[in-house]
Amino acid sequence: MAFTWNAHSIRDLVKRKFSGKRACWYQIRTALGLHKKKDVVGTARTGAGKTLSFWIALSMALEEGLDKLIIVVTPLNLLGKQNVDALKAANLTAISITAENNNEQTFKAPAGKYRVIVVGPEILMQTDGGFSKLWKKPSFTSKILHFVFDEGHCISQWGSFRLEYLHIGMLRLLIPDTIPFYVASATLPAPVLLDITEILRLRLDHTEYITQSNDRPDIHLVVRGIKFALHTFQDLGSY
């Protein structure tokens, strides 16, 4: 069966798979870019729906009958657990690999058991770790649809104290270079984006940049004079 993916068909898919949610233009463009095997750099404000965009291209591939999985690289274990819990409702099997289950038994799981693998950079890039063995198995790497780098700015800004972020671009040398990378963040200023581009070895002739305004008019900085004694904290309650 031939599939024609466009805004209408993607919205129908998302509505069916994700409890009636309506895909926005950012999510649709991201999904189409990944479906075309492009690297994608997406910038959108917090609360804009970046997380949902992680799963749409995977759902499209599964709808086409492909046996695929994605790997989500996250800076925080809590974010990984939240993703796994949310995916249960969409019938997407997922696992968050942390220090607690980073063991041989976890990596013995069949390649098709999980559709989403959520992991931090330390475990992903661990020398002689579970993933280092999986990269050598075409039965696993052939199933990888794409990588997602959640909170992508951390690749640049956290590299000084989480060194694995600085070496994460080695993935390009360990897996087929046709596997897309999706970098998602609420803030990617030019110097950070340049840094990420170099670290991840993004394919400059095959990368799509999707930018949504990250302006939050409901959040602003205010400087006001203190009227009450500090120990009363009354100024905090008067605004």
Q: According to CATH, what is the number of the domain 7-215? A: 3.40.50.300
For the segment 2-50, what is each residue's pLDDT rounded down to a tens digit?
Answer: 688 999 999 999 999 998 999 999 999 999 999 999 999 999 888 778 8
Residue 163 in this model has a pLDDT that exceeds 70: no
Residue 62 in this model has a pLDDT that exceeds 90: yes
Residue 67's contacts (CB-CB under 8 Å, 6 or more residues apart) are 112, 143
The pLDDT score that the predictor gives to residue 158 is 60
Top-confidence residue, 147 or 105: 147
Residue 161 in this model has a pLDDT that exceeds 60: no
% of the chain beyond a pLDDT of 70: 90
Residue 198 in this model has a pLDDT that exceeds 80: yes
% of the chain beyond a pLDDT of 90: 53
- Among 181, 175, 176, 173, smallest CA distance to 206 is for 181
Tally the C-alpha atoms within 13 A of residue 179's C-alpha that lie toward its C-beta.
24
